Amino acid sequence: MHPLFSYPVFCPTGGYNELIDTNGQIRAHWRDFITAFQEKGEKQFSNYAAQSARLMNADIFDGILKQENFHNIIPFILPRKDFQIISEGLIQRARLINQILCDLYTRQELITQNIIPPEIVFSNPSYQPALKNIKPPHNVFLQEYAADLERSPDGRFRIVADKTQTPEGIGLTIKNRLVLSKVMPEIYMKAAPDRIFDFFEAVRRHLFALFSENRKTEVPLVVLLSGHVKKQLSFEESFYARNLGISIAYPSDLTVRDDHVYLKNVDRLKPVDVILRRIDDISCDPLELDGSSCEGIAGLSYVVRKGNVALVNPLGTGLAESPALKAFFHEINRHFNAQDLLLPDADTRWCGRSEEKEYVIKHLSELEIYDITGQKRSPTAQEIIQNPENFIGQEKINASCTPVFQNGKLLPARTRLRFHLIHENGTYRILKGGLAFTQTDISGFGDIWVRSTNQEQNSRPDFYTKAAISTKPVRTAFELTSRTADNMFWLGRNLERSEFLARLLRTCIERATAGFESVEPDDIATLMSLLSLTGNLPVANFQDSFVQKRALEEMKDIIVSPNNPSGFYHLFSRIKEMADLLHDRLSMETWKLLTQMISLLPHNPSSYHRLLACLDNIILHQNALSGLIRENMTRDHSWRFMEIGRRLERGLQTLSLLSGIPFCTRNGFNASLETLLEVSDSRMTYRVRYMSVPVIPLVFDLLSCDTGNPRSLIYQVLKLRQNISVLKQESSLNGLFLKELSILENILKQINSIDVTALAEYASDPDKKIIISSLFETTLNRLKQELQQFSDTLTLSCFVHTGSTRQKPYCSKEG
Amino acid sequence: MSVTYRVRHKTSYEYGIPVTLSHHLAHLKPRETPYQHVVSSTLTINPQASFQNDQTDAFGNTGTFFIVETPYREMTIISEFNAELTPPVYPDPSKTLEWEKTAQMLSKPDTSELLQASAMVAPSSFIPPNPEIREYALISFSKGKPILEVAEEIMHRIHSDFIYDPNATDITTPLEETLRMKRGVCQDFAHIGIACLRQFGLAARYVSGYIRTYKDQGKSADALIETVGGDASHAWFSVYVPEFGWVDLDPTNDMYLGTEHLTIGWGRDFNDISPIKGIITGGGAHTVNVDVSVLALD
């Protein structure tokens, strides 16, 4: 133990001790930090840790950071001379990898000159012939690169992994730095690590310089293509994108039309010039790169081949991650550059050579074994002898230990370092910092501080405010992606649907479980009919008490069963899914309310009493949500799409309610108008207007044609028209939303032409009843179809971008 | 003596619900080969594609990339071409290089021809390495046997061991299952043949195309089977013979390629040269209909 604190002089793993040298002295580059640590004390550091955890979690929303990942507030401190070695070694390696990729995707001289055996390339699934002879942007394959390093017991750093496809971790690196500088500014000032933010400027410059000459726009459009399809927002990606000032796109946001890639915006398709991808090679284009899945962007490799979009990294770079290829890096470097590698990697041996095979078999238990496709394997010696070309053995490094602050004290933890590089002016620039992944009983990560030992160099530390200067582009009037609009639309529809369903079920269960005397006999049958009209119950003769009993059971199922496709579980999980995808568009409170709805559902309720309590709770929750949405959400375009979804859904529900009247007639009883009014929340309005018992013509009028009733059909259609008109006005393109508007106008005309007085005869003359009833049913069905058509048209033109309403940009053809 | 053919290949799709957007890659236009000259070739897509462009892939095949943006429930793709075939010349199998030496050459490819061939030695997605295939193939690899004799024997064996049965396999059936059932269609037989050769370090590729069917004359019983299969595009394999080049063998009909096979293109396996691939939005359940006619012009 070190005399100053309870930190071991010798690491229990036998690895290199980053903090203390073999004489028991704290290493020079750690002294400032450790002095500060001792001054502040462990208690203060516990506070730092708690504070940093809070800051980390505020942004990191269920992303890569979970309970099992812990944030180490003790930085990994790296002396400048070590960083220099790493830096030179990694730059050399990046250039070498670039040379290798250039060769293997063109002439394959490495194979014909017998430097590497052909199967190393051709047997590797990451080698894609479809990508051969594609010229990468500026002729550089490896645009961005990251490497994982470990320090072996002899004090030398060794490369253990190359990240050549989607080198992740930069977002986390920034966040790390910001949090530490905020939580312990004094220590941060004193230890003064090198700045890292100029690196992002370099990345930004690099990305914006890559646009092709065939581009269609003045200002290049650069997006980060997220790999988190259907999952929640990745903090790493969103933070990186935000710091680069580019937007995030999911594969479904992008589409190939003609020979370009476009971002699907609500009002138009915007040509994309540069894609910073976070998706592996084979998942990028389902049409050409992988036959097995539908993920990715169909036709992307075609556009790449045409040179009309720049990918960073270019497609095909995954090949360089192959362990088999790594076994030949030394020879390849000698072949290309007549040099040795400055920074050794973990010793890697391909068993296709007999002396290497013998070594691997002899040391089988000490090595990491991969097959030629890069999968980790644990073969027997016999299996290797039978098929030696298929196996690669890699040395396991006994990695060094660095201090982590865990449970209030410093502990040694095995460490792996990740460094990032970006191509710049024919060479590479390295980020002067990075991530230190640590392993104790849990895995964690921390910052890497490159420490200058001489004070002369100008190392003004980065501050939180420094990076908080956002480079995010100003949102122009219609900067709304189709995906966001689509999700907002469906969020609105599902919210409205669940609210209506909750009201309907509550009223119905209340009546059905109350004593006989207080209930009109047709009330329950009417309510159940409505539930079957909205598709929640199968059609039946609801006047039969046995049928009612069964229906009641089915209603219970809607509330409690996770498997009911029209039940609350399904609806609420859809809502949660949407809310997660829209997380950056919703306030924290709104998001929380939306995602918590599912927890309101009872697991196994014993009584209808408890079911009713649960429904009350849901309705209360929904009211709170509606209030938040009404009061707190900016009336931007995304809000309008949610509003359109809500209004459309409410319109369809009102139509279902109205259909209840002819439906009950057809089934031989009179619909209970009281319950209709109650479910549609219009009972008070009716009383105020008419001060009498509800009659069919007036109820019908109130629910369909009364523009003053916020629950009426016409009110919803007017709101739809209002929102679409605003969107139309603010969109830059003529002709947009014309079809949608004309459908709405048509619907309005039909509603206004409904002759309510004809319904007066309904009650008086039983013979006419059937005829009038079916006539109205036809009208209602037609209206329903038209509303549905409105929805389909909007979907095609704004979300899918096909159909006849949309013109493609820069295309003279009539749409 | 050369023969000129007119080929018409019609594929129709029907969908339960409308397809709103689709992207496709079709390998339907034939390529030039030493024994095949393409006189004319057209591809007609209905509904009309909003974008359509031919490109040459890494193997030299023509692929047609197209996008349909008009919502549709039915699509037809018609490929029509005229091509002239001249009888291929083959080396005497007994005089070709020993298979071991061939494999040796392919493991150190020092010319661009050998390099291209060596890319056809490695396993591919439809043809993964498999010990059962190796065992099946083993008896044809006697010591010092000339490469083309090996390939020819494998063709004969597949032809006699396997039963042509369009209902036995589908696109997802793994190779070892086909081997166990000893049933399948031309595509399976081609894959089996390629797998046998690759297991021993030899280069073999998958060839997609058509065969003359003799619907009227009823000359060739084996070839007639093709018309029974419904999907009448055909496939076989090709083996690399040093100092000569590629030799095409059709295990379904147990024959070397003459002037009855028309070549669309080749790749490592079916996946590289499948006639029509598509990624569609919408569509629901669908049915496919394929109709091929191969007509010799006098």
| Nearest CB neighbour to B65, from listed A114, A125, A302 | A302
Burial A231-250 (b: 16+ CB within 10 A, else e): eebbbbbbbbbbbbebbbbb
- Interface contact A118-B65, CB threshold 8 A: no
For an interface test with B, the pick among A287, A319, A808, A813 (most B C-beta atoms closer than 10 Å) comes out as A287
Q: How far apart are CA A370 and CA A325, in angstroms?
A: 12
Q: What is the pLDDT of residue A808?
A: 30
Q: Which chain B residues are closer than 8 Å to A390 by Cβ?
A: 129
Q: Can you spell out the DSSP letters for A641-703?
A: HHHHHHHHHHHHHHHHHHHHHHHHHHTTS---HHHHHHHTT-HHHHHHHH-S---HHHHHHHH
Question: Domain for residue A58, yes or no?
Answer: no
Quote the domain boundaries for residue A568: 482-800
Q: Which residue of B lies nearest to A260 if distances are taken between CA atoms? A: B51
Q: DSSP letter at A365?
A: G
Q: Which residues contact B291 (CB under 8 A, 6 or more apart)?
A: B8, B9, B10, B11, B12, B232
Query: In sequence order, what are the residues at sequence separation of 6 or more whose Cβ sits closer than 8 angstroms to the Cβ of residue B43?
Result: B26, B28, B29, B52, B64, B77, B78, B79
pLDDT of residue B295: 87
Which tens digit of pLDDT belongs to each residue from A667-709?
888 888 888 898 888 888 888 888 888 888 888 899 999 998 9
The residues, ordered by sequence, that sit 6+ positions from A17 with a Cβ below 8 Å of its Cβ are A8, A9, A10, A11, A400, A401, A412
For the record, the structure tokens of A813 come out as 């053809």
Predicted local confidence at residue B215, as pLDDT? 52
Q: Provide ipTM, 2 decimals.
A: 0.91
A257, A258, A800 member nearest B20 (Cβ): A800
Domain ranges for chain B: 3-86+276-297, 93-271
| CA dist., res. A686 & res. A698, Å (int) | 8
How many whole angstroms separate alpha carbon A171 and alpha carbon A493?
Answer: 35
Which residue has 């977002």 as its token pair? A171
Chain A residues whose CB is inside 8 A of the B53 CB are: 259, 302
HEC letters along A439-506: ECCCEEEEEEEEECCCCCCCCCCCCHHHHHCCCCCCCCCCCCEHHHHHHHHHHHHHHHHHHHHHHHHH
**Residue B206 forms beta bridges with which residues?**
B237, B267
Nearest CA-CA distance, residue B238 and chain A, Å: 18
Domain assignment present for residue A162? The answer is no
Q: Is residue A17 part of a domain?
A: no
Residues in chain B: 298
What CA–CA distance (Å, rounded) separates A568 from A562? 8
Asked whether residue A499 is domain-assigned, the answer is yes
Residue in B closest to A301 by C-alpha:
B65
Say whether B93-271 and B3-86+276-297 share the same fold: no
Cβ–Cβ under 8 Å, residues A711 and A703: yes
pLDDT of residue A764: 66
Q: Is the residue at A651 inside a domain?
A: yes
Total structural domains within chain A = 1
Q: Which of A112, A122, A387 sits opposite B121 (nearest CB)?
A: A122
Chain A residue with Cα closest to B113: A112
CA–CA separation, A655 and A711 (whole Å) = 11
pLDDT exceeds cutoff 60 at B218: no
CB contact under 8 A, A112 and B271: no
Among B50, B69, B72, most A C-beta atoms within 10 A, so best to mutate, is B69
Q: How far apart are CA A509 and CA A534, in angstroms?
A: 16
Residue A133 and residue A93 in contact, taking contact as beta carbons nearer than 8 Å: no
Q: pTM value?
A: 0.83
Give the distance from residue A207's alpha carbon to the nearest chain B alpha carbon, in angstroms.
28
Q: Please give the backbone phi and psi of residue A716, each rounded to the nearest 5 degrees, phi first.
A: -65, -45
- Residue A482, pLDDT score: 86
Cis previous bond, B47, omega within 30: yes
The count of CB pairs under 8 A between chains A and B is 93
Helix (H) or strand (E) holding A144: strand A144-151
Residues in chain B within 8 Å Cβ distance of A796: 20, 71
- What phi and psi values does residue B288 have, to the nearest 5 degrees? -120, 140
The residue ranges of DSSP E strands in A204-259, in sequence order, are: 222-225, 247-249, 254-257
**A112, A297, A305, A354, best to mutate vs chain B, most B CBs in 10 Å:** A112
CA nearest to A747, candidates A663, A678, A647: A647
- Provide the shortest C-alpha distance from residue A104 to chain B (in Å): 12
Q: Give a yes or no: residue A411 inside a domain.
A: no
Which of A129, A258, A287 is opposite residue B279, by nearest beta carbon?
A: A287
Nearest Cβ partner of A118 from B50, B107, B271? B107
Chain A positions touching B71 (Cβ under 8 A) are 796, 802-803
Torsion angle defined by CA atoms of residues A704, A708, A709 and A715, in that order, rounded to the nearest 10 degrees: 60
Better pLDDT: B285 or B74: B74
pLDDT for the residue numbered A200: 85
Angle, in degrees to the nearest 10, between helices A683-690 and A696-704:
120
> How far apart are the C-alpha atoms of A572 and A739, rounded to whole Å?
32
How much of chain A exceeds pLDDT 70, in percent?
Answer: 89
Q: What DSSP string runs through A275-294?
A: EEE-S-GGGS-TTTT-SS--
What pLDDT sits at residue B225? 39
User: Minimal Cα–Cα distance from A141 to chain B, Å?
Assistant: 18
- As a whole number of angstroms, the distance between CA A716 and CA A802 comes to 27
CB contact under 8 A, A256 and B268: no
Q: For domain B3-86+276-297, is the CATH number 3.10.450.50?
A: no
Q: Which of B23, B58, B118 sits opposite A256 (nearest CB)?
A: B23
- What's the gap in Å between the CA of A565 and the closest CA on chain B? 19
Query: Considering only CB atoms, which residues of chain A are within 8 Å of chain B?
Result: 108, 111-114, 117-119, 122-123, 125, 129-130, 132-133, 255-259, 286-288, 291, 294, 298-299, 302, 305, 387, 390, 796, 800-803
Residues belonging to chain B with any Cβ–Cβ distance to chain A shorter than 8 Å: 20-21, 23-25, 50-51, 53, 55, 57-59, 65, 67, 69-71, 106-112, 114-115, 118-119, 121-123, 125, 129, 267-268, 271-272, 274, 277-279, 281
Give the model confidence (pLDDT) of B119-154 as tens digits.
999 999 899 988 899 999 999 999 999 999 999 999
Interface contact B55-A305, CB threshold 8 A: yes
For chain A, give percent helix, strand, coil, nearest 5.
Answer: 50, 15, 35
- pLDDT digits 0-9 by tens, A311-343: 999 999 999 999 999 999 999 999 999 999 999
Name the nearest CA neighbour of A403 among A86, A37, A3.
A37
- Report residues of chain A scoring pLDDT below 70: 1-5, 58-68, 212-218, 228-234, 290-294, 452-478, 515-519, 605, 732-734, 762-766, 802-815
Identify whether A726 is part of a domain. yes
Query: What is the token pair recorded at A514?
Result: 């109350």
Provide the shortest C-alpha distance from residue A168 to chain B (in Å): 28
Give me the CATH topology for the region B93-271: C8orf32 fold (3.10.620)
Question: For residue A319, is it within any domain?
Answer: no
Q: What pLDDT score was predicted for residue A337?
A: 95
At residue B81 the predicted structure's pLDDT band, cuts being 50, 70 and 90, is very high
* Per-residue model confidence (pLDDT) at position B41: 96
pLDDT at position B217 is 44
From chain A, pick out residues whose CB is under 8 angstroms from the CB of B121: 118-119, 122
Instruction: Order the strands of the A310-312 sheet from edge to edge.
Output: A247-249, A222-225, A274-277, A310-312
Q: Which residue of A has its CA nearest to B109?
A: A112
**Percent of chain B scored above 90 by pLDDT?**
74
Phi, psi of B10 (to 5 degrees): -110, 130
Three-state secondary structure of B189-247 = HHHHHHHHHHCCCCCEEEEEEEECCCCCCCCCHHHHHHHHCCCCCEEEEEEEECCCEEE
Q: To the nearest whole number, what is the mean pLDDT of chain B?
A: 90
Burial of A40 (0-12, 13-18, 19+ CB in 10 A): middle
Nearest in space to A694 (alpha carbons), one of A676, A673, A671, A675: A673
Query: How confident is the model at residue A64, as a pLDDT?
Result: 42
- Supply the pLDDT for residue A680: 87
